[in-house]
Amino acid sequence: MKASLQRTYLISRVTFLEAVRQRFFAFLIVLGAAMVLSSLSFRFLDFGHGELKFIADFGFGGMFLFGSVLGVVMTAQLFFSEMDNRTALTLLAKPLSRTEFLLGKFFGAWAVLAVFLFTLSLLLGSVMWAREQTLLMQAEQRGLPPVNGLFSGGGIMTYALLQWLRMGVVIAIVLTISSIARTFLFAVIVGALAVVAGQLQWIAQDVLLKPTESLTYKAFLWTSSRLLPNLQQFNIGDALVLEPASVPADAIPWVVASGVFYMAAYLVLAAFIFRRREI
C-alpha cells in the first residue's frame, strides 16, 4: 500500500512539474489575473455597494472560464503526451499499475488547478477588500451610516475550495473521456461539451423531469439527467462572499458530497476503461 502511494505521488509530482512549466499554464494564469484586475477599470461608475457584486461576478466568471479551459486542455494534453511519446509503455513496464498511473495524472493536474484557482482567488480577494475600504471611506465622507460585513474573506476561500472540487470533477471526466478516445482533439472537444452539458444540466432537469404517471419514464429521466454532474450547483460565490448568512447550513456539505461522489465515480470508470485499453 505504501509503495503504491509512493508511485502515485511520484507520477503526480512529475505531472505537476510538467504542467506548470508549460506556456499554456502561464498564459492562462496571466490572462485570468488580467481579467480580475480589469474589473477595477469600472470603478469610475458609481455602482455603490453593487460594485462589489460586479467585481465578484467578473472574477468568478474568469476563474471558471479559464479554469475549465485549463482543466480540459491540460489534462488531455498530459495524458496523450504519454501515449504519443510512448513513455507510458516504459512507465507501465515497471511495477506501476495503470490505476496508479491514472491517479498520478489526476492528482498532478488537480494540484495545478489548485495553484491557478487560489492565486486568482487571493488576487480577487485583495481587489474586493481594497474596493470595500474605498466604499466605506466614501460613505463616511458623505455622512452615511457605516456598513460592515460587505465582503467575507473566508467566503471567497470557501468558494475557491468549491471551485477546486468542481475542477476535480472536470479533470476526472476528461480522464474518463481520454481513456476511451484515440486522439487529443477528440478528448478536448468531448470534454468541453461535457463541461457545457454539466453547466446546463439543471435546465435539462427542469425540462425533462415533468410530472408523469409512467414510473419507467420517470426512472429513465432521473437516471439520464444524473449521468453528468450539475456543475451549476457550485456557483454560490455571491452568497458566500457578500451574504454568507444567507447560505443554507446544508448547502455546502451537499455540494461537497455531490462533487466527491462524481469525482470518485468517474475516476473508477476511467481506471476500469484504461486497464482494458491497448497502448
**How many helical (H) and strand (E) elements, i.e. helices and strands, does the chain have?**
11, 0
Instruction: Name the stretches of the chain with pLDDT < 70.
Output: 42-50, 139-140, 143-150, 202-215, 217-225
Average model confidence (pLDDT) across the chain: 83
Cβ-in-10-Å burial (0-12, 13-18, 19+) of 34 comes to: exposed
**Residue with C-alpha cell 462533487?**
259
State the cell numbers at 127.
Answer: 481587489
List helix spans (H) across 142-225.
153-180, 184-199, 201-208, 215-224
- Structural domain boundaries in the chain: 2-274
State the cell numbers at 138.
Answer: 466614501
Q: What is the pTM of this model?
A: 0.88
